[in-house]
Amino acid sequence: MKLNPSISAIVWSLVSLYTVTAHAEVPTLFISEYLEGASNNKALELYNNTDSNLILDNYRIEIYFNGNTSAGATIKLSGTLAAGKTYVIAHSSASFADTADKTSGSLSFNGNDAVVLKNGDSILDSIGQIGSSDYWSNGSGTVSTQNMDLRRSATVTDIDPTDVFDPGAQWTDYSLDDFSDLGIYGADDGSNGDDGGDNPPSRNSAVMMPRLPLAVCKVMA
């Protein structure tokens, strides 16, 4: 039997939709916490939301300072990060540096510097907007990339470092120099996010990572 073209298109769309869903459920590494504290108290917490070890050798953090469109600092990661575990990078002179997985004197953002996480040349996640020297905040200024500890509060959706950045959309503010949650990922209620609890969501369930646009293109094709 020959399917008519419209049924064939629907079947293809459903197959492609399945592909979209499958891809959307393959998260990798993302930034779960960002600490922009006093002096050199700077840190990033990364979370491996896959069911596998991640070899970090091709991963790096880039920092685009003060609206620059070229990275002014590159911090290469290394080692292996187990499934469901965190990796903390701290400034070498941070007061909590001895608790970090990696330290670097280049981790010197101060609120108006875009931070990008890459695997090779693929962008995995970002904070801020490359080319902008704004100190990013939500409308009221209660959630800001300056002088705050920010924890990822919801499903990861904004990974694009080139568009407008609203830290209030996916981040919850904690006080300056509150480094008590560095190295811990989870939410007290088990929801997606990092709010100081220790109950991570089940992995591969809800964190949307960057493959979606490609797959959407496939659906549209």
Does residue 54 contact residue 80 with C-beta atoms inside 8 Å? yes
Among 13, 20, 72, 158, binds Ca ion (CB under 5 A): 158
Does residue 194 contact residue 207 with C-beta atoms inside 8 Å? no
Residues 164, 159: Cα–Cα separation, whole Å: 11
Positions in 134-153 near Ca ion (CB under 5 A): none
Does residue 92 contact residue 138 with C-beta atoms inside 8 Å? no
Paired residues of 75 in beta bridges: 61
Positions in 69-108 near Ca ion (CB under 5 A): none
* Size of the residue set binding Ca ion (CB under 5 A): 13
Q: Which range of residues in 5-13, 62-70, 200-208, 209-217 is near Ca ion by CB under 5 A?
A: 62-70
Among 112, 153, 170, 192, binds Ca ion (CB under 5 A): 112
Does residue 182 contact residue 45 with C-beta atoms inside 8 Å? yes
Give the type of residue at 115.
V
Residues 211, 168: Cα–Cα separation, whole Å: 24
Among 30, 165, 171, 179, binds Ca ion (CB under 5 A): 165
By residue count, the chain amounts to 221
Nearest-10 Cα torsion for 151, 155, 159, 163: -90
Residue 180 contacts Ca ion per CB under 5 A: no
Residue 163 contacts Ca ion per CB under 5 A: yes
Among 39, 53, 110, 199, binds Ca ion (CB under 5 A): 110
Residue 50 contacts Ca ion per CB under 5 A: no
User: Of the two residues 45 and 101, which places its CB atom closer to Ca ion in the complex?
Assistant: 45
Residue 189 contacts Ca ion per CB under 5 A: no
Among 62, 113, 125, 177, binds Ca ion (CB under 5 A): 113
Which residues of the chain form contacts with Ca ion (CB under 5 A)?
Answer: 33, 45, 66, 110, 112-113, 158, 160, 163, 165, 181, 184, 194
